[in-house]
Amino acid sequence: MSQPPVLISEADIQKRVAELAEEISRDYQDKDDVVLIGVLKGSFIFLADLSRRLTIPRTIEFIAVSSYGNGSVQSGAVRLVMDVRGNIEGRHVLIVEDIVDTGHTLSYLIGMLRSHGPASIRTCTLLHKAERAEVDVKIDYVGFGIGDEWVVGYGLDYAEQNRTLPYIGNVEPTDR
């Protein structure tokens, strides 16, 4: 099977993740705890690399959501599949996403997590498709802006394929 063409190389990803970790570590340097919440499944590799490069005290949580819709078509409705395990009340939360596309998932998560009473909520995404935005959602840390293209690798899939590619590659979706 041929490999998807490279959009963002492994070296460029690692360099940018190191920069983001430095920026986040600087911004949270006076906090004694930050809870990184990885949004499954796509964020698992980014979260692993980012969290290991931080120089501040941090704990890891995961959350899982599912969006109604078929294949690559987003409907906008988001449903919680798995909540965080730990208590986030009074704590500093950083949501870690692999990609923000329409913004519905992140917008839902911010609202939902806010109801748990954290001290603060910030957001971080490796990839941002700004031109696809349907809701206004604040993203504090962005790795790379990309166009309206379908991407795989470094945690992202297309039909569950190519999540473990070390780089971000392009694929042609079959249903859009």
Residues at the interface with ligand PRP (CB under 6 A): 39-42, 67, 74, 97-106, 157
Which CB atom, from 42 or from 153, has the smaller least distance to ligand PRP? 42
Length of the chain: 176
Q: Answer whether 37's CB lies under 8 Å from 93's CB.
A: yes
| Shorter beta-carbon distance to ligand PRP: residue 54 or 139 | 139
The residue assigned the tokens 């569950």 is 160
Q: Which residue is nearest to ligand PRP (CB)?
A: 42
Query: For residue 43, which of 133, 111, 110, 126 has the smallest C-alpha distance?
Result: 126
Quote the tokens at residue 94: 């950083």
Report the DSSP beta bridge partners of residue 35.
Answer: 59, 93
- Residue placing its CB nearer to ligand PRP in the complex, 40 or 54: 40
Check if 12 is active-site. Answer: no
Contact 151, 169 (CB under 8 A): yes
Question: Which residue in the list 32, 98, 101, 140 is annotated as catalytic?
Answer: 101
Active-site residues, by number, are 101
